């Protein structure tokens, strides 16, 4: 897995906003990739009315809500982010893109997100007969991705995230509807959850999905705002979690691609991404900020076990984890 990057992703910007070009500038002088404009893929998820809404908002440099801005380049940049996601899906690579996407539903921009790039890539894969597992490791719940795939069994959506926090969704009883029943798996964890519990629950769920669902490809919503030094959340993860998740995915699946979502501490974000890549690529860990953390608070441990039990009960034994 290699990085896909282009300086076009620096052109979406606003003053004094956490989702800024500084996130990617922190990676230094990266090699640029050739990326197509992904406009032609937008209709896989979005109707023309929504596409024109984003296009017109960008032309007028309007905010879409109190968190989600546009400037004159935002529509173009978001289209290229979609193109990079498609390229990552083709090549099993990591799309280092902005703006993020996993909060964008099929008809609403929110949470810094305009188009849901990873959802579009997953639909593109579905059209080619592929069964897809989405693993969302962003510290916020990917309500947009869940919404888009809530009624289908062609995409299995797995999210581990802090709860409660923005956007307020992602509880264990949100399991999908109709054909999609049981094909949404939410693992809501408390603030101050650390590496041990985060990695443990994924190490139990992911092999079960491998054996029962048998996905052809895994799409990772790779957000890193669960890091202990991120300003927007209160999780207690270190880069070790992202390295271990990368290793876990690589040990269970042959085809994996990823798209950058959150992660708002520009100093640590490149180290988190590097750790994840090393894990996926089965490289020996050469990590910075390596202090592994365990969950010391007894109340957090007790609540984690209670939520794990509720998760199993919500799925009525459909998944054997």
3-state helix, strand, coil in the chain (%, to 5): 40, 10, 50
Phi and psi at residue 224, in whole multiples of 5°? Answer: -125, 25
- Sheet bearing 3-4, strands edge to edge: 3-4, 94-95, 256-260, 217-222, 132-136, 155-162, 184-189
CA nearest 263: which of 235, 291, 222? 222
Check whether the bond before 257 is cis (ω within 30° of 0): no
129 burial level (CB within 10 Å; 0-12, 13-18, 19+): exposed
Q: What tokens appear for 243 in the block?
A: 């390295």
Active site residues: 103
CA nearest 189: which of 306, 314, 312? 306
Q: Per-residue DSSP letters for 135-175?
A: EE-SSS--HHHHHHTTT-SSEEEEEEEESSSTT----TT--
Instruction: With both helix axes pointing from N to C terminus, report the angle between 117-126 and 74-91 in degrees, rounded to the nearest 10.
Output: 40
Check whether the bond before 164 is cis (ω within 30° of 0): yes
Residues 6+ away with beta carbon under 8 Å from 172: 186, 187, 188, 307, 310, 311, 314
């Amino acid at each position: 897995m290699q990085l896909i990057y282009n300086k076009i992703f620096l052109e979406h910007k606003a003053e004094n906003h956490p989702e800024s070009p500084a996130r990617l500038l922190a990676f230094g002088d990266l090699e640029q990739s050739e990326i197509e404009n992904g406009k032609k893929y937008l209709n896989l998820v979005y109707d023309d009315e929504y596409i024109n809404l984003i296009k017109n908002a960008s032309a007028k440099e309007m905010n879409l809500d109190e968190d989600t801005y546009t400037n004159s380049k935002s529509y173009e940049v978001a289209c290229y982010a979609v193109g990079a996601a498609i390229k990552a899906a083709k090549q099993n690579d990591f799309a280092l893109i902005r703006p993020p996407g996993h909060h964008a539903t099929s008809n609403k921009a929110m949470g810094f997100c305009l188009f849901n790039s990873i959802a579009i890539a997953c639909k593109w894969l579905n059209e080619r007969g592929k069964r897809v597992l989405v693993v969302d490791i962003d510290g916020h719940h990917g309500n947009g991705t869940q919404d888009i795939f809530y009624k289908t069994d062609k995409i299995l959506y797995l999210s581990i995230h802090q709860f409660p926090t923005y956007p307020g969704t992602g509880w264990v009883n949100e399991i999908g509807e109709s054909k999609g029943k049981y094909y949404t798996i939410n693992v809501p964890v408390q603030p101050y959850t650390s590496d041990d519990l985060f990695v443990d629950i994924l190490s139990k769920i992911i092999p079960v999905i491998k054996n029962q669902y048998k996905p052809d490809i895994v799409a990772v919503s790779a957000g890193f705002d669960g890091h202990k030094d991120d300003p927007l959340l209160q999780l207690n993860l270190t880069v070790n979690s992202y390295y271990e998740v990368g290793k876990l995915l690589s040990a269970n699946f042959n085809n994996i691609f990823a798209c950058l979502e959150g992660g708002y501490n520009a100093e640590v974000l490149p180290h988190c991404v590097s750790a994840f890549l090393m894990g996926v690529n089965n490289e020996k860990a050469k990590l910075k900020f390596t202090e592994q953390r365990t969950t010391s608070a007894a109340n957090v441990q007790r609540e984690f076990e209670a939520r794990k039990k509720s998760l199993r009960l919500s799925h009525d034994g459909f998944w054997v984890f």
